[in-house]
Structure 1
Amino acid sequence: MRIKLRLTAIFPALLIPAIASAQDILWEKTYGGKHAEYLYDAIPTPDYGFILAGSSVSGKNGNKDEKNKGDLDYWVWKMDEHGNLDWQKSFGGNKEDLLQSIALTGDGGFILGGTSASDKGSDKTENSKGKEDFWIIKLNAKGQQLWQRTIGGSGMEKLLSIAQTKDNGYILGGTSSSNKTITPEGQTPDLYGKSEDSRGNLDFWVVKLSEAGTIEWQRTIGGKYVDELRSIQPTRDGGYILGGYSNSPASGDKTEENYGLGDYWIVKLDAQGEIDWQRAYGGEKDDNLNALIPTRDGGYLLGGNSNSGATYSKSKTNREGTDFWVLKLDESGEIEWQQTYNYGKADILTSLVENKDGTFIIGGYAQSEADKSGQKTPVKTIRKDKEGINDYIALKIKPNGEELWSQTVGSKGDEVMKRLLETRDGGIFWQVPQTALPQKTKRQPKAVMTFGW
């Protein structure tokens, strides 16, 4: 399986009506070996290029130039603005190493964050601490390793989000099932183990690293059941905003009861990791947060999917199946507005982007459905070739949540948009796990880049 990347230019209908629906392929590249590659993150780089981050089980074949180390290895691909290779790197141990997140660092390099089950050997310098651990690797601008850390307890840790902090350190966000690491008598304490017991089944786990990669503090935050951290972002006051999914009642660190099967759970931390405030948002069914961003006005935008009606803190009912559910919060977590967006029978939101003018771009995917006669029932512009086929979608909304335009892109395959981000030239980068070329658009933005595997 190979990663395929396409760059597609799309022009505003108001400016160029004659080519409003055209999609010009500027370039197309395929990356990968003979086996499977999994792409989880991508960011634009200061030189107008891009860096892709994921994992691979392929050996030295195709255009992958390093041997596989074990099971899945971290795989990083740096390209220029035309998609040409600058460099690629593979890092791995004897078991599964899953790279989930990459961020730019102030020295021009990169920080990699993911989950590893490997013991010491090959590129791994430390043994596994439990089932899976956080595995952090610092690279310079050319992809050379500067240092690495294995961080975890005796159970399972899964890292999903990493970012650089104002002091040039790093904030790691993920989920943990481990209790406090116990040091046997006579042995040196593990400086990269877990400092607190689990609150229940799964907890939010946040780790703050210095610039050199040493732990400055860590926090376990959770209730008695399942609490999964999906996103962590630095805030302008030097603290951090955490967003995830929770089905815990008021227990442990959680101060509010859950509303339905599961809710959005937001926790605001100060610069030292202490809780400033927390809020749960949800209706009577299942509400699943996937994305969170701080906004320019000091508030926050939350996004995910919901099948709840207008109950409890949800004022906008879902229209059919599962819809996008977006909430705008002020800096203290009070709801300013909320909105649902319906495209198919199962709408899954994966990305949020704020534009300079205060508008927002939302990315995700939607599943098609059939009517009672067996024919496809059009829902907005979602394609209806076959029931259950996913199309990926983007929509732009005003600062108050009102929809400005929407775009859907599909093929004969099953598209699942992983991430959407804004590029330096005002375009939009779509991370999509499919090799299908976009087929149609509606009220397009300036530029769209799609890639997948």
Structure 2
Amino acid sequence: MNKILFFFTLLSIVSSCRSGDSNNLNENSTSPITDLKFKLSYKTSIDNLEIRQMIKTKDNHYVAIVSAEDYHVIKFDSNFNIVWNKVYGGSKRDYAEGIIEDSQGNLLVIGESESTNGDIEKNNGDFDIFLIKINRDGNLIWSKNYGGSGYEGISQDNTIVEAANGNFIFVGYTSSSDFNVSNNNGGYDVWVSKIDSNGNLIKQKTLGGSNDDFGRKILKLNNNFIITLKSNSSNNDFAQIGNWIASIDAELNIIWKKSTQGINSGSVTVNNNEIFLVNSTSTSYELSKLDSNGNVTKSSSINFSAQTQKQPFVNQIISSNDGGLFIIGDFGYGNEQDAVIFKVNKNFEKVADNFIAGNNFDKSRSIFPIQANKFLYIINSASTNLQIPLSGKMSSIVTEITEE
């Protein structure tokens, strides 16, 4: 069993930060937390910001999207001082869900919008999928909306990926059958779209049955792409209700699709030509390893019933250096929600776990590598009993994991 050390660097969002006020940071002394099995040190503070996703960029900085009714994007240096802090969108509700960096060092932020002004040229009706491309300084290169007269949305992060020739493919869902959307099978359909480097729509397709079906995540695997889906239909494109995984080529043709375990949609990652998928039931995490043809080669269930009776959810998974997985997720709902991170080895045996269970809302958000054996793990918290100076407003904790 590998020894896993959890050393946490804490970014607690507690003091004021507004667009254009990018240097509004405080120097703070360290405040270790000893009852969470981690070593944490307080780094800096900003008030009332809920980080949804953070990534490391090619210039060794970090960029985060923040929960707000605009596209709120913040760039930090390696010490988590704010480099720039910008807001994009219009006068109505605009929700950023995911962010990636492309091969040129530009950033793409994807979500949904109902605005018709500001950075948004038009709206086809209700919410459209809204995508912006910005350079590393946060300057807007272009913004585009996609959809029809119905509702279009993005489920979560990891919903857009760079393809060949500067193109991109994103996955979401739609209730439309006009404008950019060719057809609808009933309710919401999975919607997969391909765009060029300037955001122009190249092609799109829907997948679905007579009920609501949702696209969840997309990842690149060799020259093809893996998408995860949630279907409430048992006709047309889906033979049964539940979670699905599919492989598509660059022209959006389905290569294969398979039903998967679990009730709740989870997360997926790829490593060494293999696909790792984690969903959840009402009591357990369901782990699967698939080959590139979608055949299950290993599966396992992990149950935390000895530690909690709350329902488990998966937010993100990432490969560890020894062939295992880090899995981040939550237990429960609302103010009773707790965050969890655990690691499994290559045999899907749990080797380490840690809970963040305060007196209010605690949620795992994202995890990503920063060095060969180091990862950052982001948590949202409104708790006030974690022995750190959180305000009780929704805040964000950035933690560093060192793997030995």
Shorter-normalised TM-score: what interval? 0.7 to 0.9
CA 1:252 to 1:20, structure 2 compared with 1: closer, same or farther past 3 Å?
closer
Q: What per-residue deviation string (whole Å, max 9, x for no partner) do you get for residues 66-108 of structure 1?
A: xxxxxx2110000011111111111121210001110011111
What is the CA RMSD across the aligned residues, in angstroms? 3.0
CA 1:8 to 1:402, structure 2 compared with 1: closer, same or farther past 3 Å?
farther
Q: What per-residue deviation string (whole Å, max 9, x for no partner) do you get for residues 139-194 of structure 1?
A: 1110101111111111000024122223222111111111133xxxxxxxxxxx22
**For 2:336, which of 383, 389, 405 is the aligned residue?**
389
CA 1:222 to 1:22, structure 2 compared with 1: closer, same or farther past 3 Å?
closer
Report whether the alignment pairs 1:253 with 2:232. Answer: no
Shift of residue 328, structure 1, vs aligned partner:
1.2
For the residues of structure 2 that align with 1:22 and 1:244, how far apart are their CA atoms?
Answer: 35
CA 1:210 to 1:202, structure 2 compared with 1: closer, same or farther past 3 Å?
same
Q: Secondary structure at the match of 1:423?
A: strand
Q: Secondary structure at the match of 2:119?
A: coil
For the residues of structure 1 that align with 2:14 and 2:365, how far apart are their CA atoms?
Answer: 14
Q: Secondary structure at the match of 1:432?
A: strand
CA 1:423 to 1:439, structure 2 compared with 1: closer, same or farther past 3 Å?
farther
For the residues of structure 2 that align with 1:268 and 1:51, how far apart are their CA atoms?
Answer: 29
Report whether the alignment pairs 1:81 with 2:65. Answer: no
The AA in structure 2 aligned to 1:214 is N
Equivalent in the alignment of 2:399: 448
Equivalent in the alignment of 2:139: 144
Correspondence 1:40-439 to 2 at 5 A: 40-56=52-68, 72-119=69-116, 121-124=117-120, 126-159=121-154, 160=156, 161-181=159-179, 193-194=180-181, 196-236=182-222, 238-249=223-234, 251-254=235-238, 256-258=239-241, 263-282=242-261, 287-296=263-272, 298-307=273-282, 322-343=283-304, 344-345=308-309, 346-367=311-332, 389-424=336-371, 426-436=373-383
Equivalent in the alignment of 1:30: 46
Q: Secondary structure at the match of 1:82?
A: coil
CA 1:340 to 1:439, structure 2 compared with 1: closer, same or farther past 3 Å?
farther
Equivalent pairs, count: 361
Shift of residue 19, structure 1, vs aligned partner:
12
Consecutive unaligned residues of structure 2, counting only runs of 5 or more, are 1-11, 16-27, 389-397
Question: Are 1:304 and 1:350, in contact at CA under 8 Å, matched by a contact in 2?
Answer: no
- Choose between structure 1 and 2: higher strand proportion: 2
CA 1:207 to 1:3, structure 2 compared with 1: closer, same or farther past 3 Å?
farther
Equivalent in the alignment of 2:7: none
The AA in structure 1 aligned to 2:173 is T
Larger-Rg structure = 1
CA 1:9 to 1:233, structure 2 compared with 1: closer, same or farther past 3 Å?
farther
Q: Secondary structure at the match of 2:97?
A: strand
For the residues of structure 2 that align with 1:127 and 1:273, how far apart are their CA atoms?
Answer: 26
Which structure has more relative contact order (CA 8 Å, sep 6+)? It is 2
Shift of residue 268, structure 1, vs aligned partner:
0.9
For the residues of structure 2 that align with 1:214 and 1:88, how far apart are their CA atoms?
Answer: 27
Shift of residue 131, structure 1, vs aligned partner:
0.8
- What TM-score, normalized to structure 2? 0.82
Identical-pair percentage:
23
Consecutive unaligned residues of structure 1, counting only runs of 5 or more, are 11-17, 57-71, 182-192, 308-321, 369-386, 441-446
For the residues of structure 2 that align with 1:104 and 1:81, how far apart are their CA atoms?
Answer: 17
CA 1:22 to 1:288, structure 2 compared with 1: closer, same or farther past 3 Å?
closer
For the residues of structure 2 that align with 1:83 and 1:409, how far apart are their CA atoms?
Answer: 22
